[in-house]
Structure 1
Amino acid sequence: MAAMARWLWRSAVVVVALLFFDASAYSPGTDFLLNCGGSDTVSGAMDDGRTFVPDGTSLSSAFSLSTRHEISLLDPSPSSSLPDLYRSSRIFTSPSSYLFPISRPAPIFLRLHFRPFRAPEFDLASSIFNVSASGSPLLIDFRPPSSSITVEEFVFWFDLPRLELNFVPDVGSNGGLAFVSAIEVFSAPAAIIPNSAIEISASGARTSSAVSAQVLRKCHRVNVGGALLSAGNDTLWRRWLPDLGGGESYLVSPANQSQTVVFPGLVSYQDGGPTQEIAPNAVYGTARKLRIGGDGELHNLSWSFSVPARRRFLLRLHFCDVVSAALYTLYFNVFVDGVLAMGDVDLSSLAAGPVLHSPYYADFLVDAGRSGVLQVMVGPSDWSPPSLANAILNGVEVMEMIGAAEFSTIPEAQRGKLLFGLILGSLLVFSLLIAIVALVILRRWKQIGKGKQPASMISRPLPLNLNLGLRIPLSEIAAATGNFSSLNQIGFGGFGRVYEGALRDGTRVAVKRADPGSAGQGLTEFITEVQVLSRLRHRHLVSLIGYSTDQAELILVYEFMDQGSLRDHLYGTGKAPLPWKRRLEICIGAAKGLHYLHTGSDQVFIHRDVKSSNILLAAGGIAKVGDFGLCKMAPLAGASQVVTGVKGSFGYLDPDYLKTQQLTCKSDVYSFGVVMLEVLCGRPAIDPSVPSEMVNLAEWASRRHQEGLLEDIVDPAIRGSLASQSLVEFMNTAAACLAVCGADRPAIADVLRSLENALRLQLSHCPCDEDKRAQEGGELGSTS
């Protein structure tokens, strides 16, 4: 009963606090900087412009020092180069505590500075003591190194009105004292602490949700490929060490196998993605990438981090593509302790927007073995063309999880007395509270860190207004995928990992499981996908079988499309080239799916992310449109446009939509025109490996069409097999789809009719194709 009261209390506090907490405009609500044992205010001691005030209780009413035996000790012979902040210490010879008022629930950064020195009566280097925060142990039998300044940093979610920082000397040790030289206590944005992370084990990678209730202790913070960053270069006053050439070298790979990259401008922080508080521009703007070695080969890059053995760690990896000239050109793999943690990483899809130089980060849970070493490795993906093969890493943070925080100052007896009132109040406001939680999640999902939730909510289902008839228990989905075994993983995209599985009735399914570290699709896109596909059913739309939000997971279950995507069959995977007739049939099927979206119900649906990788092929070769996370519904029945922020994939975006932010069905038509060119030319929408005038497919193909050089752009794999009239009809239709002004483009129904005519022209030119088509059960004439 007491535990229930505690949960209700913390849930209410967290929910109300989140309504007012905005991580997008960070300003510490709690901020204490103490010069411990000193009598003077110290400014600029950390090269960051901040001011540390004396910790004497007579000089400040904001915090208090509770102790029976304490001494203010000055270094009798400090070095002239020593910062003023480290010329004094506060000494405790009995248990003592600082009390800090906390303005609002938030993650708290706590930094403790220690500089041992010798005075006539005290040798701080011999002290051994414990430190805790409101009952949660931080340092046990701690003995600061005698030869240097030590800074211990902790971060944890705190939702109580005051923080009690306790110092307890070990009376059995030499000296029997504790000390501290300086203290920092300040609040941080909620996204600093993830709700969940990808757990790495010998069996593979899987999602875990036991992070946000933990106290985290900083072990390493590394600016990969960059220089040392002092506290003044970070909005949370953190120091980032270089991965090579600093006090500790983390890079294991030979230096000649890598190359540092420095981006001269500002990276593109996007709404819903990392902020400066996650990592500063100086981290995301520098990276280490692959370099061809002396043997003419590209080798994986490896880093090694020494950590306490047999402990659990939160590993945060920072990425920003500062090496590519265009989007969708960099694919690479990430390994943690030899396990594939992320495969075929595409930062253009994972980042918060289709913009070059947009940051992204991923969180992992990993256990250190007896060796006390964590290893991170990146290497090229098979998806990359040989000329573009590369891999990058921008930053690494390693945080030890030192235990679950139980921050509560309400006595157990008082909680029992409050229980009845809490339950009664909860019953009266339950409906309102659920509505508030849903609103908070919807409005703050991006600010709170791409899907992260406070500790009090991590084990509860998300209260979403979705089609309950489609809910599938998480246990059934886990059983269908072998507990999300890496052996069943078949893809990785902006939403997360994709697994193949089979339900209890034998139905083959594809399971999308949201990546907790993803800055791509989030809760809003998840809800959109479920709401759209639960209302629409069509032969040429991928069917949603169900979903799950159990244990704060976001999981979508689809019919299995065993022939992959249209993109897979056009380029990049080495599959046998599709014949022209088959390509036409696929285009016709996809056009039918889009036509149903635009006109098949009383509501207009605009897909907003039409591309070859979102056109999937089922058994029998039936083409279906998939991935409805960015889909938009027009506000009124019969309406055909909506004003909204620009979303979509680079190379497929409607120029009218980019300019006016007015999304219409003609925006889908433009994207479909680009897909038609991919089908005809057998190459990506953006290809930086070709001469500059050919990089953008739509521009290059349209120019060749206008010049009357149509044959030049046809995929060499099918060149010579196209009926000339079929080719002209197809290209004229694609060109019409790509009209700069949306009003000049045809409706998708007109595109469909032109495609069917192009197929008839092809079949009349090659009658043998008609017989083959009848045997294969082609798409022509299917109007369902």
Structure 2
Amino acid sequence: MSTQTLLLFSLVLFSFLCKSLCASNDSISASTSYILNCGISKDGLEDADTRKWNPDTKYLVSSDDSISAKAEFQDPSLPSTVPYMTARIFTSKSTYIFKVSSKQRHWIRLHFYPSSYSSLNISDAYFGVIANGITALHNFSASITAQALTQAYILREFSLSSSPNGRVNITFLPCPFHNGSYAFINGIEIIEMPDLFSTAMMVGFSDQSVDLGGSAFQTMFRVNVGGQYISPTQDSGLSRTWYDDSPYVFGAGVGVVGDADKGFILRYTTDTPEYVAPADVYTTFRSMGPDPKVNSNYNLTWVFQVDANFTYIVRLHFCELVWTKVNQRVFDIYVNNQTAETAADVIVMAGSPGLPVYQDYAVYVEDGPGDETIWVALHPSVSAEPEVYDAFLNGLEIFKMSDTAENLAGPNPVPSPLMLEAEQEPTQEFAPSKSNNKAQVIGGAAGGAAAFGLMAVICIAVYHRKRRELGIDSSTTGWLPLYGNSQSTNKSTISGKSTASSHLSSMAASLCRHFSLAEIKHGTKHFDESHVIGVGGFGKVYKGVVDGGTKVAIKRANPSSEQGLHEFQTEIEMLSKLRHRHLVSLIGYCEEDNEMILVYDYMAHGTLREHLYKGHKTNLSWKQRLEICIGAARGLHYLHTGAKYTIIHRDVKTTNILLDEKWVAKVSDFGLSKTGPNLNQTHVSTVVKGSFGYLDPEYFRRQQLTEKSDVYSFGVVLFEALCARPALNPSLPKEQVSLADWALHCQKKGFLEDIVDPHIKEQINPDCLKKFAETAEKCLSDHGIERPSMGDVLWNLEFALQLQENPDGVKMEDIDVMRTHTSSHSDGHEANMGIHGSNLSIGGDSEENEESSSVIFSQLVHPKGR
């Protein structure tokens, strides 16, 4: 080898070694995508989707001011221990540096699990995040955000434009204004992506467009309209998550959903390549429906909660799957009550039927009470005279655009007090409730639990809007000190102190005993924490003693509670006039010194939920569960038909079914109850209240309350008793999160037995299970008119009990007893109590009815022979 060749080889080798050393010193990888599990030292740990996560240490500029730590508690709703059970903790400004392609955009996904790490208080974790000069988060509290969204973990997704220097820098800065503040991160993803952003038409300014090319974005919402949940592994190469749109559809006009004909193959185009959205988005849709008269009188509308003072890009995805000619289906598009597009014809947009296309619209959301929302509405374009009056949509995405200060950070959401109570009671479902008018909830594509968490957020938004439309001041219905409201106060004729008695009817006050605060304090040993037996939306419940030895349950209002004066009054007004074996008895109340306290009979065995899965105090037998359900049904049936007016409970759930020392079920908690419609009405119009997982979907859509809303909630209770699992469980796969949806799916597919509680599976008679499941299924019908009355439900449950106790066949005398027993719980408001699905009606005095009943009963006496 010549001297010249040796010299050249040496130079090349020296150059290579220098580059290697520089790369090592800079701690930068040449990879363009990264999936990092922060705080670990081992390579290749896999998450639940078998994705491999690597350590983060070598990408830190300096790790001297950081520590790795393990979470002290694993929330059951975490989808995987990787990356959430380990974290990188920063006590001072710290930066990650990643080498990326200088020509590509990148997704930046940050994973946060707010837990206790190394004895640090998670409530002290306030920090900011800056990515390539973009303020992604500012004064961010993962703990507060998780509480507000009722999620165990938080995922934030950002899109950064290409980096000229080929690097992505992510800096964490503990908040300097909070003592003891620190920053933390559990997982970081940096994924190379195509440039999905070019220009968008400015809503309200038809001649103006917004250049999106150099901007940064945060993903706020991504929904598959009319379709199902799409997981990251089902997305078209970009690992995005698409959620069901139904929680965001506004009002009663939900339209109809549809999909492409079998065998349809989607053809992508150069204008709409495959990575824009997966085929499942473009092959499903939601339209207004077939009736042109109905369609011409309403808008198909979606509502989303966002942060104020930002510009948002609203991306609508279309694919015409039904019509084949121009001007057959034409509609107008509105965003925040402004015209975004007139006479939109998707076939014209795409150039042909069956081709996907998308449109981007930019809208600025100003700051103002109740204005932190984006409304997207579609309406048939009458002026275009199309062949059909209809509108449709396949998919929708909303992105927040960085402002002129290179900022994407919004404020921390404000958790309602009820959500804070739910944090202390993790398995208790939350209720849509009032929050401050300035409360702003940060949306996002936020993992497995985000679907129903975001549903709560939008429910709060709709709640506030409805209150304003009705002219209701939010300050009048929250918790009010009994002496602090603007109304004049009177002195109690009993205690001589200023009280809330003036807010109660004289009958309620006379039927309900007034306790002095001294009696209450004596009975609870000054509200000793050792006497607490429960915590709910109203406040803490204490076990107490009055009158020298009578055990009672004492419910004390929390001044920061969402349930306040109105609920206090409602509970007294309702329960003081009601007495029934299957309703919890209100003994009295106390309203001294700004206290609101209710005193009830003591229920020795607590709530039904405690004996199903929360705490597993007792493994109830199947017969016990059935008898408890029957008892609760009797209580609800009495509310609907036995009182002077129909009473709708509005919060039926397993925590509101209590059990006394003899395991007798009693319905409790009437703070949300409403008097039902009169004879000239079909419903009561009211803001939505209740608990998610149990909430009647029709009531949620229309804000129209009927007694059938209680029936729906009770249907969830029935499946809870059968399956021994919560109404909502975000730790399960998407399709199983909602017990109501999953149980109905299993029932229709014929494998309900697979989800029955294994403790009772062998105890249930098959005929009993069939009748019980059919009854629960009917209760969960989407439309109230299709649901049975509580009288029907009660009859069917008692019949199921007879099938359980008499596996060889139900005798006629048993049915006569059931008929007499059931009718004794009604005051005659219901003339008939039919068994749905069996053409059976009970009641009436005619012999023909009796004979008809007997014929059908004879078929039911030996159900195995049918």
TM-score tier after normalising by the smaller chain length: 0.3 to 0.5
| Highest RCO, 1 vs 2 (Cα 8 Å, sep ≥ 6) | 1
